[in-house]
Amino acid sequence: MCPAPRSGVDTGGVHAIEPGELVLGSDNGSAFTARRFRARLGELGIRHRRGGYRDPESQAFIESWFGKLKEREVWLNEYETLDDVRRGIGGYVDRYHHRPHSRLGYKTPYEVKETWEDLQNLAA
């Protein structure tokens, strides 16, 4: 994991995410409720918002994402091997990360990730 960004870093006009601004939404699975996980989020300055129990509407974005994965990849294919599954779903995820998204200002998730990494390097 990368360290939390420091305040006061010249980011060339790009808004850096300051500690406490980033919020991770999750369900209530054991990985997300573990003390070690919660402690690490605190170290990184990431706030954690868990959805309601048995309440998929509280996680609408990720529920929608998995629904689209099923509709656009899983249900359209008859996988014969685990490698076929990995290739198919991996390809879908790769295409998802390399296409522009309106919620990201028509940037790709990959471009946003690169910007985040560049800002982390500036902060270091």
What does the DSSP assignment read for 40-81? HHHHHT-EEEEPPTT-GGGGHHHHHHHHHHHHHTGGG----S
Q: Is the pLDDT of residue 34 over 90?
A: yes
Which pLDDT score is estimated for 92? Answer: 96
What residue segments make up the domains of the chain, in order of their start?
Answer: 23-123
Is a pLDDT exceeding 90 seen at residue 122?
no
The class of domain 23-123 in CATH terms is alpha beta
pLDDT of residue 41 exceeding 90, the answer is yes
pLDDT (tens digit, 9 = 90+) per residue, 83-108?
Answer: 999 999 999 999 999 999 998 899 99
